[in-house]
Structure 1
Amino acid sequence: MIVEMYEVAVYGSTSGAVASAIQAAKLGRKTVLISPHDHIGGIQVEGLGSTDIDNQTEFQNSPSVGGLALELHRRLSKYYGRLDWLEEVLAERKKVPEVWKFEPRVLEEVIRSWLDEYSPLLSITKASLSAVERDGNVVTGLKLTNGQLVRAKYFIEATYEGDFLAAAGISTALGREPSAQYNESLAGVRDDTRYTQFEVPIDPYREAGNVSSGLLYGISSEPFGKPGDGDQHLAAYSYRLPLTDVEGNKLPIYKPEGYDPSHYDLHRRYLQAGGKLYLPRLKGIPNRKTDLIGSEAVLSTDLLGMNDDWPSANDQGRQKILDETATFTKGLLWFFANDESVPLEIRQEWSKFGYCLDEFPDNNHFPRQIYVRDARRMVSDYIITQHTASEHDGEEHDPYPVAIAYWPTDTHCARRVVRDGVVHNEGFIFKDKHQWRPFGISYRSLVPKRSEAINVLTATCPSSSHVGYGAVRIEHQFYELGQACANACDIALRESDALACVQDVSYEVLRERLLEQGAILDVSLVGKPDFTLV
């Protein structure tokens, strides 16, 4: 077995992994980025080009973007020849969503170049984790599927799934807590799901009115349950889909192998009942590309109930989920553009668009990975909850912020079930039922319990409830958390020859470092949402 020695080891392919690795190397630390995927950059290199910056009516969150997250956007703007425009937007505090948007292929190119700047101090290994070695509450090494054993002083979890945390035996949560656990009114089964809800009643059975005929594809037989009860369901995943209407860059929407027309019977019945399908639209991404996010409509590309097994599945199991959901998603686009049950004007609009020939050339121009919005979350001594993100029933602002979460508590629907005899989408939380607020993401949410590990941090799975995580899980915020994790590792490495505990890192030193690096930590400076505009 090949043994490699490092000061900092980062596990993941996400935005948080990129930031952690770059910041650690910038500080002169011998660093390894272990990427379980061939393409590094997370969902932003897999289709998410319409960033969650300044794209909502009632708030402007760009003043909270700093540090490496802002440097990334400066690099992107330089690539596009719009850096002066970005600097003007920043200087005058303008709200211009388009200046923050990009193409996935461009982001991957920018990230690849950025990582290369720190070679050979920063090494990149593409392999998955097979086991974690530890000595008490000290993680000592990672065994990888390529036969390497990576040893390091400090380790950063930077997957969306929390794979390293689970393998290391660090406490995590999965699914939705009951409302009573943290006294969260938005937790658990949702009694009143309004966002992306059916506006017309739809019979759920294959033969209308015949319970014994079984349910239409995509509807769970699980009982609705009791509002507020917890369960193991996850917010729906989806592919983030860049399509284009540029003829010279368009692969027409095609019928996928394995297409099953019965999988879209719910959509046909919805149309028959007077329901409205949605249309692809351009959002200001360069070169006329869409970014279909999954929740544009009642029946869009969100995969309700199709991804619950993802976090616990192995590589082969996840590939199976990817294959099945890719077939369904490609089939859905084919249905929109070709099925005779779809109104002609809708078919014509969808037929104008196709897959981008300059994106994902190694996967027939379809994203290689899915948007993992919700998986394992670390459980530490401090937990981000609905109250952390609430204006009126909220807790005091935490005194140890390393970044600002400026986004509503946002979790997509978790289930599609039968309720009162009709189809019901359940679980969406977005801007409803409470007045949310921006808040400082505490350093304490990035470190595990001392009894479980003293040399581990996480940039992407902070200690949080299901509701609380919905406000944290934004890509530019993961960059900022990754930057904080790397700085904490460097501070710990400087404190003594012995292994210093990440729980004991001086926050004052960390704060000063982050401010010098352009981080935004004072929540009073970034503004608040104006709910009168909703």
Structure 2
Amino acid sequence: MIAYNLPRLTYTIQAIWVEEASYMPANRIKESLCSDSSAVKKSGSTVTGLRLTNGQTIRSKYYIEASYEGDFLVAAGISTALGRESSSQYNESLAGVRDDTRYTQFEIPIDPYIVPGDPSSGLLHGISPEPFGKPGDGDQHLAAYSYRLPLTDVEGKKLAIYNLRGIPNRKTDLIGSEAVLCTDLLDMNDDWPTADANGRQKILDETATSTKGLIWFFANDEAVPADIRQEWSRFGYCLDEFPDNNHFPRQLYVRDARRMVSDYVVTQHTASEHDGGEHDPCPVAIAYWPTDTHCARRVVRDGLVHHEGFIFKDKHQWRPFGISYRSLVPKRAEATNVLTATCPSSSHVGYGAVRIEHQFYELGQACANACDIVLKDADAHGSVQDVPYSVLRERLLEQGAVLDVSLVGKPDFGLL
């Protein structure tokens, strides 16, 4: 069996288990999923094929959704969620509009208007006119995306910026949340998951322009204190990164898009130390990360600029937990031969604890093993929902996976 991965530049990745090797090699499949009703064919709850924008049809026994956006899940008629649930939906105290956003919050009062104190003059660029809303209410906003930008202060490799994390070869990694004014560009990516290819390209271009403009501002604008300008002026793009794209990343860091909704849902409680209940009996990986979601909005609250939506360790004692196999499979009535490694069944808050890349690797490993198990014994258990957990668990343990949450330790909240 051969697994094909459609490149990220298509905005849709499906790892597709194919029965013959007659299809194009993975590195030559440059097309994305069709956006019309012909995208996915089904017979009852079985997906029988998918159609790409170049007209190619790919048929397989099993399909793995491995994109952030979840386009394939939607096309296959599988339930998904988008945006932030209300706090009442899963009884999550951190859900919906956040009444108390502390992480990367403004520490000094900032007037939001072009003419200070005059609402009729209009809002400064980047501030949403949307009302703050009621704490706990759900909405369609997403955690802010950014370009994950490597920079350096080494001439010829041309940024290690003070107070930013260093990575090998004297580079630094701008992930978007280093400060109040940073490369997390709030409100710019809410349409990304549902946009077509042209719409996503427009968001890419607008975010790139804003990111480059922000860095230029830090290094050159006289409104910025001279010592900060001097520090930023030392830095530049890494010449050994993205050489075919003027050394700038090609893709956004998509932190939050569609999430599958199955019979089992990862929520805030799954990741909570004090009200999490028993650990799920079917783990395929260990999540060791807070319920981490970046700010969703920059709005006006009480007449001042306010960031809303960040959740990162504050007011929540999280715990490591086993990510359940049940969160990777759809409802049986919706599809019996589809899994997802990157859009697991979870709430907006719960997804924040799962969405880290190394955990996606582990979930991908679990999905691949599950496919192999059912391919080898389809008569006994042809549905992904029926994969014997004992068999899957034994395989993962043989491959070095850690599935016992008691082995990984717990965070020390006294250090926060």
Scaled by the length of structure 1, the TM-score of the pair is 0.73
* Deviation by residue 1:131-161 (Cα, 9 ceiling, x = unmatched): 1111111101110112210000000000011
Equivalent residue number for residue 154 of structure 1 = 62
Equivalent residue number for residue 423 of structure 1 = 305
Q: Quick one: which of 336, 351, 356 aligns to 1:454?
A: 336
How far apart are the structure 1 equivalents of 2:10 and 2:82?
A: 26
In the alignment, structure 1 residue 127 sits paired with structure 2 residue 35: no
List alignment gaps of at least 5 residues for structure 1.
1-28, 43-118, 253-277
Q: Which runs of 4+ in 1 moved over 4 A?
A: 38-42, 119-122, 278-282
Equivalent residue number for residue 245 of structure 1 = 153
SS of the equivalent of 1:291 reads strand
How far apart are the structure 1 equivalents of 2:162 and 2:194?
A: 33
Equivalent residue number for residue 224 of structure 1 = 132
Whether contact under 8 Å (2:11, 2:69) holds in the other structure is no
Equivalent residue number for residue 140 of structure 1 = 48
* Deviation by residue 1:259-308 (Cα, 9 ceiling, x = unmatched): xxxxxxxxxxxxxxxxxxx9555533121111011110111110111100
Equivalent residue number for residue 7 of structure 2 = 35
Whether contact under 8 Å (2:258, 2:343) holds in the other structure is yes
Whether contact under 8 Å (1:280, 1:290) holds in the other structure is no
How far apart are the structure 1 equivalents of 2:392 and 2:295?
A: 37
Q: Which amino acid aligns with 1:403?
A: A
How far apart are the structure 1 equivalents of 2:334 and 2:274?
A: 34
Q: Which amino acid aligns with 1:127?
A: E
Equivalent residue number for residue 214 of structure 2 = 332
How far apart are the structure 1 equivalents of 2:128 and 2:270?
A: 33
More helix by share: 1
Whether contact under 8 Å (2:10, 2:32) holds in the other structure is no
Task: Kindly state the Cα deviation for residue 172 of structure 1 after the two structures are TM-superposed.
Answer: 0.2
SS of the equivalent of 2:167 reads coil
Q: Which amino acid aligns with 1:369?
A: Q
How far apart are the structure 1 equivalents of 2:91 and 2:11?
A: 40
How far apart are the structure 1 equivalents of 2:164 and 2:295?
A: 24
Equivalent residue number for residue 495 of structure 1 = 377
How far apart are the structure 1 equivalents of 2:378 and 2:371?
A: 12
Whether contact under 8 Å (1:379, 1:463) holds in the other structure is yes
Task: Kindly state the Cα deviation for residue 512 of structure 1 after the two structures are TM-superposed.
Answer: 0.3
Whether contact under 8 Å (1:172, 1:379) holds in the other structure is yes
Describe the shift of the 1:438–1:310 C-alpha distance in structure 2 as closer, same or farther (beyond 3 A).
same
Equivalent residue number for residue 389 of structure 2 = 507
SS of the equivalent of 1:213 reads strand
SS of the equivalent of 1:490 reads helix
Whether contact under 8 Å (1:413, 1:427) holds in the other structure is yes
Instruction: Please report the RMSD computed on the Cα atoms of aligned residues, expressed in angstroms.
Output: 2.0
Scaled by the length of structure 2, the TM-score of the pair is 0.94
Alignment of 1:43-442 (within 5 A): 123-124=25-26, 125-130=29-34, 131-250=39-158, 279=161, 283-442=165-324
* Deviation by residue 1:243-265 (Cα, 9 ceiling, x = unmatched): 11111122x9xxxxxxxxxxxxx
Q: Which amino acid aligns with 1:427?
A: G
Q: Which amino acid aligns with 1:496?
A: A
SS of the equivalent of 2:201 reads helix
Identity percentage of aligned residues: 79
In the alignment, structure 1 residue 531 sits paired with structure 2 residue 416: no
How far apart are the structure 1 equivalents of 2:181 and 2:164?
A: 19
List alignment gaps of at least 5 residues for structure 2.
15-20
SS of the equivalent of 2:218 reads helix
Equivalent residue number for residue 18 of structure 2 = none
SS of the equivalent of 1:247 reads coil
Whether contact under 8 Å (2:114, 2:122) holds in the other structure is yes
Whether contact under 8 Å (1:243, 1:354) holds in the other structure is yes
SS of the equivalent of 2:165 reads coil
Whether contact under 8 Å (1:33, 1:122) holds in the other structure is no
Task: Kindly state the Cα deviation for residue 493 of structure 1 after the two structures are TM-superposed.
Answer: 1.1
Whether contact under 8 Å (2:13, 2:67) holds in the other structure is no
Task: Kindly state the Cα deviation for residue 510 of structure 1 after the two structures are TM-superposed.
Answer: 0.3
Describe the shift of the 1:161–1:136 C-alpha distance in structure 2 as closer, same or farther (beyond 3 A).
same
Equivalent residue number for residue 468 of structure 1 = 350
The aligned length equals 404
Equivalent residue number for residue 519 of structure 1 = 401
How far apart are the structure 1 equivalents of 2:67 and 2:155?
A: 37
Equivalent residue number for residue 17 of structure 2 = none
Task: Kindly state the Cα deviation for residue 432 of structure 1 after the two structures are TM-superposed.
Answer: 1.4
Q: Which amino acid aligns with 1:157?
A: E
Task: Kindly state the Cα deviation for residue 126 of structure 1 after the two structures are TM-superposed.
Answer: 2.5
Whether contact under 8 Å (1:173, 1:377) holds in the other structure is yes
Q: Which amino acid aligns with 2:66?
A: A
How far apart are the structure 1 equivalents of 2:122 and 2:287?
A: 43
Q: Which segment drifts farther, 365-374 or 124-133?
A: 124-133
